[in-house]
A = this chain, B = another copy of it.
Amino acid sequence: MKFTVSEIAQMLDGTIVGNEKITIDSAAKIEEGRPGCISFLANSKYEPYIYTTQSSAVIVNKDFVPKKEISTTLIYVENAYTAFTILLEEYQKRIAGGKTGVEQPSFIGENSQTGENCYRGAFSYIGKNCVIGNSVKIYPNTYLGDNIEIGDNSVIHPGVRIYDNTIIGKNCVIFANTVIGSDGFGFAPQTDGTYKTIPQLGNVILEDDVSVGSNSTIDCATMGSTIIRKGVKIDNLVQIAHNVEIGKNTVIAAQSGISGSTTVGEQCVVAGQVGIVGHITIANKTKIGAQSGLGKSIKKEGLSLSGSPARDLNEHLRSMALVRRLPEIEERLKDLENKHETSDFQGQ
């Protein structure tokens, strides 16, 4: 698919300085560009590359003033990064085109219905009483159980497993091999040392605009619902246990795990490999650093936490710096002890 610089500038409401007739067929980082590519410059750290880039065009902020000669064509816009993103989205939409129709063999149970303009890939399985909205894409090799609802425009990637009674909103994206709604990990210890399974009868609700990465797991509630609120973004290999609730627009990076019945606030940022214990509440806008372990409720909004157990980021950094210096600290302690012994001796 090809665009001229002129078409792109029009799409982005931008102003061209250079050759408006050049044809663009791909996108690249400014430092990796080649003829036919378009790039962007938003972070001044990358400015040196604009004087040497092989890209045919570069989108720049409207206040950009070149310090040297530039051979590439420039497109000035309000915000280069945003404009570039819009461009990529437009590009992606056009190439994705949008699969529709039903590939065979595929399976759909009694009383299940799909809206208009849907795609059901080969070897996809849909159980009974499911209600699938318009323009939903269900890729090959997926499994949907019974009584499932999926809102308009949502995309279920290959190998996704969705258990009975799950409700998924509009514009959600679930990437490959993620499992939604399998049993929470609930076992009651018996006096003979064995464990009895606690039935997990609840479901999972994903509100609109939720994205879940690949190979993640979101367990159904024991009773009631595990709830992922509107706009939440979850990365790969993340574990969300039963009865968890994740607040609006919270972001959770790869390999983090949230234990049962914990409520995470809105607009939180959970970095990678974080662990959060069960039955706690985390205030809105909390930021939790990578590999942290959170063991207690956080009541104040907007804190930055780190460490395991997690605490205030700056305090954690200060303690970690001192841990590094422990050999020196012990040396100083020894020095003092020696002086004391000497002075005790002298004092005798």
Contacts and interface: CB of A to CB of B under 8 A. Distances in A.
B320 A309 contact: yes
A179 interface: yes
B233 A217 contact: no
Contact of A322 (B197, B217, B223, B327): B327
A88 B185 CA distance: 15
Nearest to A221: B29
Contacts of A169: none
A315 interface: yes
A158 B143 contact: yes
Sorting the interface of chain A by its residue count into under 10, 10 to 19, 20 to 34 or 35 or more gives 35 or more
Stoichiometry, as copies per complex, reads: 3
B123 A29 contact: no
Contacts of A291: 275, 293, 308
A13 interface: no
B267 A193 contact: yes
Interface stretch (A60-68, A69-77, A236-244): A236-244
Contacts of A88: 198-199, 201
Contacts of A251: 187, 195
A253 interface: yes
Nearest to A230: B194
A159 interface: yes
A327 B318 contact: yes
Given A214-B217, A332-B337, A179 B176 contact: yes
A330 interface: yes
A32 interface: yes
Nearest to A158: B143
Interface stretch (A110-118, A254-262, A296-304): A254-262
Contacts of A272: 239, 257, 259, 275
A153 interface: no
A185 B253 CA distance: 8
Given A85-B198, A161-B159, A290-B293, A239 B223 contact: no
Contacts of A217: 213-215, 236-237, 254
Interface in A107-162: 107, 121-123, 125, 139-143, 157-159, 161
A129 B107 CA distance: 26
A239 B211 contact: no
Interface string A202-227: 00000001010111110100011000
A196 interface: yes
B324 A333 contact: no
A275 B188 CA distance: 24
Contacts of A253: 185, 259
A312 B180 CA distance: 37
Interface of A: 27-29, 32, 81-82, 85, 88-89, 91-92, 103, 105, 107, 121-123, 125, 139-143, 157-159, 161, 163, 173, 175-177, 179, 182-183, 185, 187-188, 193-199, 201, 209, 211, 213-217, 219, 223-224, 231, 233, 235-237, 239, 241, 248-249, 251, 253-255, 257, 259, 266-267, 272-273, 275, 277, 290-291, 293, 308-309, 311, 315, 318-320, 322-324, 326-327, 329-330, 332-333, 336-337, 339-340
7 closest Cβ pairs, A-B complex: A143-B158, A161-B176, A88-B199, A322-B326, A179-B214, A217-B236, A125-B140
